[in-house]
Amino acid sequence: MTTIPTLLISVSSYYIGVSYIEREVERTHKLQLDYTVKQVSDALGHLQVNMNQWTLNSLMSDRLRDIEFKDNYALTKELFDSLTVMNNSSGLIDQVYVYLDRPARIVSDSQGIRKLDDRSAQPYRELLEMRARLFWRSLSAPGMEGLFAVHKLPVIGEPFGAIMVQINKKQLLKLAGFDPGLGGTAFILNQEGNSLSRGLAPPETEELNAALSSELSGMQEKSTSFRWSWNNELYVVSTEVIPITGWNLVSAVPLSEFLKPIVIVSRLIMAVGLASLLLVLLSSWYASVRLVQPIHRLLRTLISPSGPEPLLVPKDEIQYIEEQWRNLSSESHLLQSRLEQQHSSLRTGFLLQLVQGHLQLLREHEIRQRMEQYGWETEDHQFVVMVVQLLGFQRLQGSFREDEQPLVTFAAVNIIEELTGNDNVSVMNLHDLSVGLFIMFPGHVSPSEVSERLKSMASEIGHSLNRILKMNTVIGLGQTVSAISRIPGAWDEVQQALRHRKLDELNQIIDLNEPMGEHAESRYPFTLEQDLVHSLVSGLGEESDRLLGQFFQELKAHAERELLLQQGSLKLLGAVQGALMQSGMVQAGALFDWGQLYAELLALKDSDEMQEWFAERIVHPFIAELTYNQNDRVRYLAEQTVAMIRSEYHTDISLDLCADRLGLSSSGLSKLFVQVTGLHFVDYLTKTRLDQAKELLVRSDLKMQEIAVQIGYQPTYFNRIFKKMEGMTPKDYRDRHKL
């Protein structure tokens, strides 16, 4: 009776334990690989972000196109200093090169400037022909072999070169979890199925990698986990795609090291069982004498775990069982204590599932049964949901950072729990500056009394949060329901009702049990919208900020409710989107993710937050991009204006006429003309006319009236302006300079 169970336990523990460990190793290995893939992807993504920043540097612009380094020492030194900084910016970087085409050259801070002939430059020119601006590529060129991240130069326009970052494969594999001393293997396959770690591992590991790569080449699934046998060794293999590059990270670990303890223990138990079986034949007569007392103590332990009576025998098999039973009992009490500590979290999680509609498939009695399991007494009760929304977080920026909204919400939850310390009130942390409450009232309480209690509770909560957190609140009180299955609908109604809050009330309560009244219509400031869009397209940053403030000030003055304020802000965003798309001045579709912008704007509830959001997410990025791209356009428009002046100076040409032809405002054309030429439009026109008049005075015998008409002036005004500008009359000028 003693040895046979031991033998059965050893056999069953072996098969069951091995199977369990294999499954757990496979699951754990897959989770570890997912975490490693995230680390590798984050590191490579960070490198890509750095490369994007490098290419946006003014040094990496058209200044490098067709540059002669020997004639530009300052720019050459700045380029080498930048390459040195790039090389030291990340442990994954082995070397940073800059390739410049026509003439073909490779520049690095360690190797200097190396010229390339047409044959040597061919691999790099093929990189410039790639469609993508930023991509990963294995390169095999003279003196340039390895894995590279390539970013074309410049960011926009015809590429004339590229920044090429050579990746340190050892550091990449180390980040991927490869360690030859730990057994198994970890390597990376590119899109063609070639290993990026070839030549970096011991020969036996290289042989293992080659066999595993061959096995994976026949599989369609790139992210998988399976068991694989090779050289009489069973491996757990997991593969996962690195999203940012499309490479496949492969990891394999041998199972023998994990199974060794269970095998040894199982064999040891079996050996002990066999030895015990032999020993039983010799000790059976002695055991029969001592059997009654141990059984008595075992029964005593089961009935009374504290064991008040002293043991008659200090040590035996039953004593060991007794000790183990006590340990298990202690652990059971500990687990029970922990379960009670987690009870509150489980209740909150269940409520969140309930109000969000995740339990709609359950029937009413099933929901009540589950609630009773969590400690709620739902029989003969009515139910109400309440939502507390905190407002004005933007005004607390000096006290809290933007990412500390959950901290403020947590503080609000604690305050509300202190105020409503009642078993019939359950508080839910919604983590987005809002708190939900699930409240139960006995069925005999009248609707008027329920409404009075709710308003009193909401008022106390609002004043306390305003006093402690210095934030305003809007509190929504849902309709009273008797069926728990109607809670999700009541919750949605409260969420919608919060959008109808009045903007001019600091702390307000919206009770859905009472009529909400008519909504006031909002007067949308169309004129300010048009002025704002026009100044934005014209690149007037300060003017756009000023008009943006006026727009939201007027919108808030006429939009009495949050819903109308959101509708007005969304309408402004749509107008800005349409104007930027139609202007074609920058690639607004690439500069902004409009879907994300609409989602972010919908989450804002305060006009000050909306105004700051528009400035930071729309106005300032667009003005910066427009300023970056407008230099060539400004020069072109100024040259067109100069050409019109020189060809039509004798006509009644004006600044307004030129601006209308070029599709600009007069003020805008005046600013860019002064920026390029250094002269105002009128001064440049006057100078052009007088230069032509001087030519006619010296080289012709035309009369003064005829010359005035030919250059576009009245004779009297011609004499006056000529004397003012030249210090002498036209006649004196002719007499002095006539040949």
In this predicted model, what pLDDT tens digit does every residue of 698-709 receive, in sequence order? 888 888 888 888
Give the other-Cβ count within 10 Å of 686's Cβ: 19
For residue 354, give the nearest of 377, 378, 385 by alpha carbon: 385
Q: Please name the residues in contact with 445: beta carbons below 8 A apart, sequence gap of 6 or more.
A: 382, 453
**Cα–Cα distance measured from residue 516 to residue 365, given in angstroms and rounded to the nearest whole number:** 33
pLDDT-derived band at 340 (thresholds 50, 70, 90) equals low
**Cα–Cα distance measured from residue 385 to residue 441, given in angstroms and rounded to the nearest whole number:** 11
pLDDT tops 70 at residue 373:
yes
Q: Which of 108-112, 474-478, 629-633 has the lowest mean pLDDT?
A: 629-633
pLDDT tops 50 at residue 312:
no
Q: What is the pLDDT of residues 229-255, one digit of tens each?
A: 888 788 888 888 888 777 888 888 887
Q: Tokens at residue 97, please?
A: 């090169």
**Cα–Cα distance measured from residue 61 to residue 189, given in angstroms and rounded to the nearest whole number:** 34
For residue 693, give the nearest of 719, 711, 706 by alpha carbon: 711
Q: What share of the chain is helix, strand, coil (3-state, %, to 5)?
A: 60, 15, 25
- Residue 244 or 398, more confident: 244
pLDDT tops 70 at residue 298:
no
Q: What is the pLDDT of residue 351?
A: 86
pLDDT-derived band at 583 (thresholds 50, 70, 90) equals low
pLDDT-derived band at 315 (thresholds 50, 70, 90) equals low
pLDDT-derived band at 650 (thresholds 50, 70, 90) equals confident
Rounded average pLDDT over 541-563: 76
Rounded average pLDDT over 495-515: 72
Could you please report the per-residue DSSP string of 471-520? -EEEEEEPPPBS-GGGHHHHHHHHHHHHTT-BTT-SEEEEETTS---PPP
- Residue 406 or 270, more confident: 406
| H-run or E-run covering 124 | helix 118-128
Q: What is the pLDDT of residue 423?
A: 67
Q: What is the pLDDT of residue 313?
A: 42
User: How long, in residues, is the chain?
Assistant: 739
Rounded average pLDDT over 399-422: 81
Rounded average pLDDT over 464-478: 86
Q: Tokens at residue 656, please?
A: 């307004």
DSSP 231: T
pLDDT-derived band at 310 (thresholds 50, 70, 90) equals very low
For residue 383, give the nearest of 369, 368, 363 by alpha carbon: 368
Q: Which of 308-317, 360-369, 515-524 has the highest mean pLDDT?
A: 360-369
pLDDT tops 50 at residue 425:
yes
Give the other-Cβ count within 10 Å of 468's Cβ: 11
Average pLDDT, the chain: 79
Q: Please name the residues in contact with 27: beta carbons below 8 A apart, sequence gap of 6 or more.
A: none
Kindly list the distances between the CA atom of residue 455 and the CA atoms of 51, 134, 391, 413, 508, in Å, as whole numbers in the listed order: 57, 59, 19, 18, 11
Q: What is the pLDDT of residue 292?
A: 60
Say which amino acid occupies 648. Answer: E
Q: Please name the residues in contact with 447: beta carbons below 8 A apart, sequence gap of 6 or more.
A: 480, 513
pLDDT tops 80 at residue 220:
no
Q: What is the pLDDT of residue 724?
A: 87
Residue 87 · residue 149 · CB < 8 Å: no
pLDDT-derived band at 316 (thresholds 50, 70, 90) equals low
- Residue 561 or 621, more confident: 621
Q: What is the pLDDT of residue 623?
A: 76
Q: Please name the residues in contact with 515: beta carbons below 8 A apart, sequence gap of 6 or more.
A: none
Q: What is the pLDDT of residue 739?
A: 58
Q: Which of 210-219, 233-242, 518-527, 645-654 has the lowest mean pLDDT?
A: 518-527
**Cα–Cα distance measured from residue 678 to residue 699, given in angstroms and rounded to the nearest whole number:** 30
Rounded average pLDDT over 371-384: 86
pLDDT-derived band at 311 (thresholds 50, 70, 90) equals very low
pLDDT-derived band at 285 (thresholds 50, 70, 90) equals low
List helix spans (H) across 592-714. Answer: 594-602, 607-614, 620-629, 631-648, 655-662, 666-677, 681-699, 704-710
As a whole-number percent, the residues of the chain with pLDDT over 70 amount to: 82
**Cα–Cα distance measured from residue 179 to residue 189, given in angstroms and rounded to the nearest whole number:** 17
Q: Which residues of 589-610 are buried (b: 16+ CB within 10 A; e: fewer)?
A: eeebeeeebeeebeebbbbebb
pLDDT tops 60 at residue 317:
no
Q: Which of 139-153, 244-258, 582-596, 660-674 has the lowest mean pLDDT?
A: 582-596
Q: What is the pLDDT of residue 173?
A: 77
Residue position matching structure tokens 């334990």: 17
pLDDT-derived band at 725 (thresholds 50, 70, 90) equals confident
- Residue 315 or 361, more confident: 361
Residue 543 · residue 533 · CB < 8 Å: no
Q: What is the pLDDT of residues 145-190, one digit of tens each?
A: 778 888 888 878 888 889 989 888 788 877 777 655 556 788 787 7
pLDDT-derived band at 644 (thresholds 50, 70, 90) equals very high
The radius of gyration of the chain from alpha carbons, rounded to an integer in Å, stands at 41
Which residues is 438 bridged to in the sheet? 385, 426
DSSP 619: I
Rounded average pLDDT over 304-315: 49
